[in-house]
Structure 1
Amino acid sequence: MNREVSERIHILFFPFMAQGHMIPILDMAKLFSRRGAKSTLLTTPINAKIFEKPIEAFKNQNPDLEIGIKIFNFPCVELGLPEGCENADFINSYQKSDSGDLFLKFLFSTKYMKQQLESFIETTKPSALVADMFFPWATESAEKLGVPRLVFHGTSFFSLCCSYNMRIHKPHKKVATSSTPFVIPGLPGDIVITEDQANVAKEETPMGKFMKEVRESETNSFGVLVNSFYELESAYADFYRSFVAKRAWHIGPLSLSNRELGEKARRGKKANIDEQECLKWLDSKTPGSVVYLSFGSGTNFTNDQLLEIAFGLEGSGQSFIWVVRKNENQGDNEEWLPEGFEERTTGKGLIIRGWAPQVLILDHKAIGGFVTHCG
């Protein structure tokens, strides 16, 4: 028995401190635990509280499996950040004009944890480190201590391939304007896009330089893990492994590691709608008839943009669930909704203000389409 425990694979999981990164990495840690590995999530004090309940529930269901948390110190104020700024959700509550600079400072401040990571690796001697793409400095730390570092990408092979070919061929520099469509060269499928849609970070900007570090650390790492599956985007998975990173594995959809109803309902934060009420509404719809719209926790839409979405939904005549992240700066102001919109779409549409039980919704047979961002 002792020999079995000592030989157990031990994986460290280090997510970037944002819901869209933490949730799938927690799912991955659970997946590895179910396969017999010991899983340890690395995070900061405030984010540890987000992990505690789902990990406790998972351990109660699987008492023989090993999964835990290691907390790293992250002194926000000393790092030039506001008190409590340990998660991108904190930044999203700021005015849009301030949030960009604060996000960059937050991104760069994570390097403070480098020494703590190296000390923990040295002490525990793990089998591997799975670190988020936004921690490029983790590759150097792992290499120094002889531990394989795997880069985690929460996005798709498709978007990674598009980004790669845009950098290599720079087609956006060969068109008249930032709104002129062009085909991304060399990719399967003749993908047409504009520079505005591609949101290309200029290389000389702080974000452009940071993304260059991310790519270099990926090249020097042991390999890449992508939250996708081969049948979804086989042409792009093959392209990525041929031209970008030979050692890349699709290990998704990671959300499938949530098997129980409670796990699906409470993936991430507590929902701003009663799960049973949501399921009852979906049960009343015919299969494949509902469009689900959710643009994630990191988006900032203007009132005008939200109004256009509302007009489009109403005009389509389609049944829908629309998740709108509540902006704390707006208070109770709902100028983003056309007057009488909810009355006119009663029974046809459901607006969830805040956090939605997304896995539970997407798992329902009534959902026929998903409108989201590039992640």
Structure 2
Amino acid sequence: MGELTVFNGSNDHKCHFVLVPLMAQGHMIPMVDMAQIIAARGALVSFVTTPVNAARIRPIIDRVKSHGLPIRFVELTFPCAESGLPEGCENVDLLPSMDLTRPFFDAVSLLRGPFESFVRDVEPVPSCMIVDYCSSFTAGIAQEMDIPRIIFHGPSCFYILCFQNLWEHKEYHEVDEFEPIVIPDMAQQVKISRAQAPGWFPGPDWKEVRDKAMEAEVSAQGVIVNTFHELEPEFVECYRKKIKKPVWPIGPFSLYNKDFTSKASRGKKSSVDERQVSSWLDSKETRSVVFVNFGSLVRTKVCQLIEIGRGLLASNRPFIWVLKEEEECCPEFRQWMSEELEGMEAGERSLVITGWAPQAVILSHPSVGGFVTHCGWNSILEAVCAGVPMITWPHFADQFLNEKLVVEVLKVGVDIGVRIPVYMMKENEVSVKGEAVEKAISRLMDDETDEESKERRGRAAKLAQNAWKAMEEGGSSYENLTRLIEYVSESSKLA
């Protein structure tokens, strides 16, 4: 176990928060943001990570050091070999096959021993643990040491409520997996099928992991959610009443990163020069560019990639398209790209990024007018903060319910028409044709002539204003963080 102390101040802080993320980009990035937000309010933070993940967030560690924030990055050795994982597979997006996801969670549970040693030895004594919903191994340690433990939920209150209400609904477990069912006890009607809403850990192989996570949530003292009250007020209140515990919406965390450098360094190191991306965007008209990015886990089939490309070209709009390295290097797709994308006209209006893209930088640029997204919650929040309307293309996990929130509740998105998760599709099956991509872009972007599109963009702009206000001093999220720190401080005095 190693420890990287990145501040030179004393340990004389009112509270000491220990943050334990799940080692997956969509979970780590918001918790790194959260660590900085809490530390900026004067609390000491110990952020638990592993060597490979620490290397990936090195730019953030360096920035924290330069700002003098009271954050310690603690490296625990990740037990790859003991769990049957290839060496270095310390993050979900590094797994060579999604079949290794279950062994990965076995490895996560084995972190209990080194984590307990750290918690027992560290000074000052932790005032509180903030742990990812998936980090159930922390529950017993917190209970034994009488340390308050707060769950961090990555998705929205809307999603958590939908999932819990479905799980408790007997009929949900008995209907055909493709039959739409009305989710009970929601503030407005929401329909979903079992195939679209499998929860965090679907299938019998995940029963032990699922049960432990649910038990750990029940025994926690409260919940932190990366959302803000004005985004989903009725669902925040319903969730608070349902669990009868404190719920602290203190996001959007990404707004802590206000300047260009901070936005560019979120997550892994970008595979492109962020300044070149900004320069390319500067050459485009306001709200003219379509941005396509499906997150860190989705691997799109070649046949589907070609359809996406055809739709983008047919839209006659400039676009930025983010690809995985394994997608871009496929011979069939490379040939298509050389024939269709590398011509002079297409090249002038297309920018293809292979690898990790500076998404927050791109979305916040005034030239970006629409975002084709996989509906990961972090991506949705970044689009909300930038006031960019979305084309929703969910793939699995929480993404279909996130789509419902964006399209049906917030009304800031257009549904592209996906009905089944990617893992239920055949090998060479295409879920969305190029024509549907072109049509969705047209619906989203034609706000000069289409009243519905204009109203959608207006709602998106209003949400962005509310998001920024929530994080400012006196805003709802700022005040909720104050209440959280006060709660932990009082709990520490009673311990």
Which whole-Å deviations, capped at 9, do the CAs of 1:58-86 have from their partners, x for residues lacking one? Answer: 221x23x3112112122321332211221
Confirm whether residue 122 of structure 1 aligns to residue 124 of structure 2: no
Matches within 5 A, 1:271-350: 271-327=270-326, 331-335=329-333, 338=336, 340-342=339-341, 343=343, 345-350=346-351
AA paired with 1:69? F
Q: TM-score, normalised by structure 2?
A: 0.68
Picking from 82, 92, 99, the partner of 1:88 is: 92
Which whole-Å deviations, capped at 9, do the CAs of 1:77-99 have from their partners, x for residues lacking one? Answer: 133221122122220xx2xxxx2
Confirm whether residue 23 of structure 1 aligns to residue 29 of structure 2: yes
Which whole-Å deviations, capped at 9, do the CAs of 1:126-175 have from their partners, x for residues lacking one? Answer: 11111111111212211111111111122222221221122122554565
Match of 2:76 in 1: 72
Structure 2 CA distance for aligned equivalents of residues 193 and 76 of structure 1: 37
RMSD over aligned CA atoms reads 2.4
- Three-state SS of the structure 2 residue aligned to 1:327 is helix
Q: Compared with structure 1, are the counterparts of its residues 312 and 172 closer, same or farther at alpha carbon in structure 2 (3 Å cutoff)?
A: farther
Q: Compared with structure 1, are the counterparts of its residues 320 and 174 closer, same or farther at alpha carbon in structure 2 (3 Å cutoff)?
A: farther
Match of 1:58 in 2: 64
AA paired with 1:59? K
Give 1:338 shift. Answer: 4.5
Match of 1:37 in 2: 43
Give 1:314 shift. Answer: 3.1
- The answer (yes or no) to whether the contact 1:240–1:246 under 8 Å persists in 2 is no
Q: Compared with structure 1, are the counterparts of its residues 161 and 43 closer, same or farther at alpha carbon in structure 2 (3 Å cutoff)?
A: same
Structure 1 stretch displaced more, 107-116 or 182-191: 182-191
Give 1:104 shift. Answer: 0.6
Which whole-Å deviations, capped at 9, do the CAs of 1:94-129 have from their partners, x for residues lacking one? Answer: 2xxxx2331110111112111222222222211111
Structure 1 CA distance for aligned equivalents of residues 146 and 46 of structure 2: 18
Q: Compared with structure 1, are the counterparts of its residues 83 and 303 closer, same or farther at alpha carbon in structure 2 (3 Å cutoff)?
A: same
- Three-state SS of the structure 2 residue aligned to 1:304 is helix
Match of 1:136 in 2: 136
- Three-state SS of the structure 1 residue aligned to 2:151 is strand
Q: Compared with structure 1, are the counterparts of its residues 171 and 288 closer, same or farther at alpha carbon in structure 2 (3 Å cutoff)?
A: farther
Structure 2 CA distance for aligned equivalents of residues 34 and 80 of structure 1: 39
Confirm whether residue 103 of structure 1 aligns to residue 101 of structure 2: yes
- Three-state SS of the structure 2 residue aligned to 1:196 is coil
Identity %: 37
Aligned residues: 362
AA paired with 2:375? H
Structure 1 CA distance for aligned equivalents of residues 310 and 191 of structure 2: 26
- The answer (yes or no) to whether the contact 2:172–2:181 under 8 Å persists in 1 is yes
Q: TM-score, normalised by structure 1?
A: 0.88
Matches within 5 A, 1:146-161: 146-161=146-161
- The answer (yes or no) to whether the contact 1:292–1:322 under 8 Å persists in 2 is yes
Q: Compared with structure 1, are the counterparts of its residues 26 and 122 closer, same or farther at alpha carbon in structure 2 (3 Å cutoff)?
A: same
AA paired with 1:243? K
Match of 2:242 in 1: 243
Structure 1 stretch displaced more, 145-154 or 337-346: 337-346
Q: Compared with structure 1, are the counterparts of its residues 219 and 70 closer, same or farther at alpha carbon in structure 2 (3 Å cutoff)?
A: same
Structure 2 CA distance for aligned equivalents of residues 107 and 250 of structure 1: 27
Give 1:203 shift. Answer: 6.5
AA paired with 1:187? M
Give 1:36 shift. Answer: 0.4
- The answer (yes or no) to whether the contact 2:13–2:42 under 8 Å persists in 1 is no
AA paired with 1:159? Y
Structure 1 CA distance for aligned equivalents of residues 156 and 347 of structure 2: 35
Structure 2 gap segments, 5+ residues each:
1-9, 378-495
- Three-state SS of the structure 2 residue aligned to 1:267 is coil
Q: Compared with structure 1, are the counterparts of its residues 315 and 232 closer, same or farther at alpha carbon in structure 2 (3 Å cutoff)?
A: farther
Give 1:183 shift. Answer: 2.8
Structure 2 CA distance for aligned equivalents of residues 51 and 352 of structure 1: 20
Which whole-Å deviations, capped at 9, do the CAs of 1:265-296 have from their partners, x for residues lacking one? Answer: 12112212221121122223333333322221
- Three-state SS of the structure 1 residue aligned to 2:45 is strand
- Three-state SS of the structure 2 residue aligned to 1:293 is strand
AA paired with 1:327? E
Match of 2:374 in 1: 372
Structure 1 CA distance for aligned equivalents of residues 86 and 34 of structure 2: 31
AA paired with 1:142? A
- The answer (yes or no) to whether the contact 2:181–2:191 under 8 Å persists in 1 is yes
- The answer (yes or no) to whether the contact 1:150–1:222 under 8 Å persists in 2 is yes
Q: Compared with structure 1, are the counterparts of its residues 82 and 158 closer, same or farther at alpha carbon in structure 2 (3 Å cutoff)?
A: same
Which whole-Å deviations, capped at 9, do the CAs of 1:24-55 have from their partners, x for residues lacking one? Answer: 11111111111001111111122222233312
Structure 1 gap segments, 5+ residues each:
none
Structure 1 CA distance for aligned equivalents of residues 84 and 39 of structure 2: 37
Q: Compared with structure 1, are the counterparts of its residues 212 and 9 closer, same or farther at alpha carbon in structure 2 (3 Å cutoff)?
A: same
- Three-state SS of the structure 2 residue aligned to 1:78 is helix
